[in-house]
A and B are shown apart, each in its own frame.
Chain A
Amino acid sequence: MTGSLRPSLRDPRQVMRLSRLGSLHQCRLSFMRILTRRMADEAWEFSRPIFNIAADGTGHAVYCANGPDRTYSLVAFAHDLPSEMRSDRVIAEAWDATFTLFDGIPTADDIERLSKNVPLQEAGRIRESELSLSRANRSVRLWKHVVEALASGRQPEAEQLANVGYLMRTTAVYGSGKFGAADREVIADRPEFSAPFQAEMLSVFLTRAFVRDLIEHAAQTKGGETAARLDAGAARQLGIGNSTGLGMAPFIVNHPMLFNNWIMAREEALLRVRQVQRATDAEVAQFKEMLKRSSRSVSQWQSDHPLQVKKLNTLRTDLDAVFSHVAKHDLSTEHPWDQLVLWSEAHLSEEGQELVSSVVMEPYGHLVDELSNSLSDCNSDAFLIDGDMTVGTLKELIQKCFGWALELDWAAPENCAQAWYVSAEKLEPRIGSRFKEPIAEYEQPLAPARDAVQAYEELRKWDHDKKISDFLLRHPEHRHTIRRSQISASAPYSEIQDNTIGEDILPIDMLRAKLSFFGATHFDPRSDRWVRICMFQGAPYPNELTRDNADHWVYPNLEGAE
């Protein structure tokens, strides 16, 4: 087999299909890893100035993260939640614990104010001094088991820990100005928050430390002096769960430039690695180690959802094939990673291909990591429409981005079976049947492909050399689509190359695409529109963080290795 001598960026028509976006895995550019690498590089210090939790498990605590220029504090509130009120759905009104990330160190007055608002979540108000708002519920079974084991002086059973993977799962982590919090713009020029979602990731990182302290406190209250502390190795294997529904799905459609930047950075990273002419022995060894550790992570990945079960079985077969291929084929040839990626495209499922794409980046931090600087969207004026563009040029943009959609019969019920809408009850995005529910008139603009075809049909009636400003004067209903088309000219990965309203749409594909960039693992769909994941599983706790453990924690250690 001969590889291409000049690999190029992968075609958006290959990358931006929903099934592939729904098969993405974390990589070096994941937001959690960017955060832990930076905090370790800059030697951040962590402290717990307040842990005011009563014997009944209620109270509050403060965890501080001190960076080079600023301190951030997680303010955590622990509650006594009756089990019948425990719901992961966004419509819940009470939680086991609630949190905010405070910009600085909160005073007693701040904490008093926050105690009246943070536990209410959406029904409360926070201020510009707060950067996030979140809540978490216990995994009831694991929580009970761990408390009972520790209280009686024993460690919990490893199998039970592995089966769940977390003691609490968050059900929303809000940032960017939501419910009165500081706007993204307030923190965007701080180096520690220049990459996306860093404040939210920091809040989850600190939440994990709080949850560990809280369960040890509960065990000690129950068991007294003979209670055990949670073994450090066991604690490492516990992440923070997250349960995510449809609220997150529209994000990647509503932020085309930002989503482009995420995909573009990952594609550019993959290209740089594929361009490596020869791999050193150390690089090959690191790839092989991470592949084995990745395989271990996959072996621990559990799901009962039929679609994911099937994908996992295929992924495990894919991994066997990769091990076998790597054992037989020398990685000291020219362009070894390009060869491997080309081989994966011919022999593996999309899950397997994307896993290979992520793992080949591991030895190449020096080529990949600086791309974390290009993940954010700093060009807000990309929003502005260029009215001088001609109708002909705009039509070419639509053909290039949505050529496949122009061939589709959008009037066929199966191609427009669903509609996205916002529910009056909880103001959250939903998807429903266009023909069975009274929702069509409330449809959100989340079908860019269909809308592009509608605009194209109208543009065809205009002369090629007419200006778009004149077209839009007559057809303002197409402004949304014209803007997106112009963004696609400079952002080739801005649009999902699939039908987002077809009868077979799986919103979990959109959720996974976003969550994979967070760095989530162990995607466990609970339905076609609802997924549980794990965050920071395997990561060092704040006071354990060093340069040596800040990066590869996402890959579980091999048996016998430390």
Chain B
Amino acid sequence: MSYSLNEVEAHSKRAARGAGLGWGLAEEAAKATRWMCAQNIDGCRVLTGVLEAHQDSACNLQPPIFLVGEWRAEAGRLCPLYVGASLSDCATLVGSNGVRIRELSHPLFILPFVAAAARKVKTNLQVRLPGATMTTNGKTVDLAASTEAAFYVEQVEQVEITVAPPLTKDANQIGRARPCSQDWEKLNSFAALTYAPATEASRRLGAGAGQSDND
């Protein structure tokens, strides 16, 4: 089934919130997922992976300790959402010096944030993973790898973001997303955690109705 990008964003925001993220990060996770879908990347698959890793204590996802030098976690792995948000916040730094990141979970998820940084400082940025590169000017992306699996890896030891030469590829955004139903349902189950169970009081008062509409 195809979904509008607006549906993807709304669904992703609720899912990220349901997985325990703050509202601000949930909004950013949702925009990131939407951006990936518009680039024909399976954003819902990547977000599902990130949110599941968040639930898994063995993954121990962390924010970077500092935003200078090599970005690393104190223990465990770096969370791509925290890293992504900081990359976007620090666009000036990323656009001038680049950044090296250690032990990153679901590295593909930082791509929309790198794209945001590229738009902010009007430059081209390249993300290098083992066996794959992703180059973006913020509006479009050029993916290069031997196999698609190289982009969807669950973790990498090192990621490097550097300034890149201009892209030769034209923007080719698409307007619909076609996530696999398992990922959509998984996001749905996270999203459901944000809904308050109905009570008699909420049924009666919550929407403020009560008068007859049959007039």
Contacts and interface: CB of A to CB of B under 8 A. Distances in A.
A423 B116 contact: no
A245 interface: yes
Interface string B17-33: 00001111101100100
B16 to A, nearest CB: 12
A306 interface: no
Contacts of B155: none
Contacts of B202: 423, 430, 432, 437, 439
B6 to A, nearest CB: 3
A422 B195 contact: yes
A243 interface: yes
Interface string A349-391: 0000000000000000000000000000000010111111000
Given A381-B119, A477-B22, A246 B194 contact: no
Contacts of A176: 6
B58 interface: no
Most buried by A among B2, B206, B211: B206
Interface string B169-201: 000000110000000000000001011111101
A177 interface: yes
A424 interface: yes
Contacts of A422: 194-196
B125 interface: no
A186 B67 CA distance: 38
Nearest to B138: A381
Interface string B84-125: 011011111000000000000000000000001001100000
B4 interface: yes
A90 B120 CA distance: 41
B63 interface: yes
A41 interface: no
Contacts of A381: 116, 119-120
Contacts of B201: 432, 436-437
A127 B178 CA distance: 13
A387 B91 contact: yes
Given A128-B175, A481-B24, A384 B120 contact: yes
Contact of A180 (B7, B21, B91, B215): B7
Contacts of B23: 445, 479-480
A530 B82 contact: no
B209 interface: yes
A252 to B, nearest CB: 17
Contact of A424 (B5, B119, B198): B198
A527 interface: yes
B196 A507 contact: no
A179 B1 CA distance: 12
A479 B85 contact: yes
A533 to B, nearest CB: 15
**Is chain A's interface secondary structure helix, strand, loop, or mixed overall?**
mixed
Given A86-B214, A432-B201, A476 B6 contact: no
B4 A181 contact: yes
B64 A473 contact: yes
B206 A479 contact: no
By size class, the interface of chain B is 35 or more
Given A183-B4, A185-B5, A479-B24, A526 B175 contact: no
Contacts of B3: 180
Most buried by A among B6, B7, B24, B201: B24
A473 to B, nearest CB: 6
Interface stretch (A134-142, A325-333, A535-543, A547-555): A134-142
A183 B175 contact: yes
A338 B197 CA distance: 52
Interface string A402-438: 0000000000000000000111110110111000111
Contact of B198 (A86, A127, A423, A436): A423
A529 interface: yes
Contacts of A480: 22-24, 27
A183 B6 contact: yes
A476 B88 CA distance: 13
B210 interface: yes
A180 B194 CA distance: 22
B86 A387 contact: yes
A428 B207 contact: yes
Given A427-B195, A480-B23, A526 B211 contact: yes
Contacts of A185: 5, 175
A182 interface: yes
B2 A526 contact: no
Interface stretch (A62-70, A292-300, A464-472): A464-472
Nearest to A527: B208
A468 B89 contact: yes
A424 B197 contact: yes
A88 interface: yes
B85 A470 contact: no
Nearest to A477: B22
B24 A483 contact: yes
B213 interface: yes
Contacts of B25: 476, 479
A87 interface: yes
Interface string A71-115: 000000000000110111111000000000000000000000000
Interface string B60-71: 000110110000
16 contacts: A87-B214, A89-B213, A127-B2, A140-B214, A184-B6, A245-B208, A246-B208, A424-B195, A424-B196, A428-B207, A476-B22, A476-B85, A477-B22, A479-B24, A483-B27, A526-B208
Nearest 10 CB-CB pairings of A with B = A479-B24, A387-B89, A177-B6, A529-B208, A177-B4, A430-B206, A480-B24, A424-B195, A469-B89, A88-B213
Interface of B: 1-7, 21-25, 27-28, 31, 63-64, 66-67, 82, 85-86, 88-92, 116, 119-120, 175-176, 192, 194-199, 201-203, 205-211, 213-215
Given A439-B196, A469-B67, A480-B22, 12 more contacts: A87-B213, A246-B208, A384-B120, A421-B195, A421-B196, A424-B196, A425-B203, A431-B206, A473-B64, A473-B67, A479-B25, A528-B208
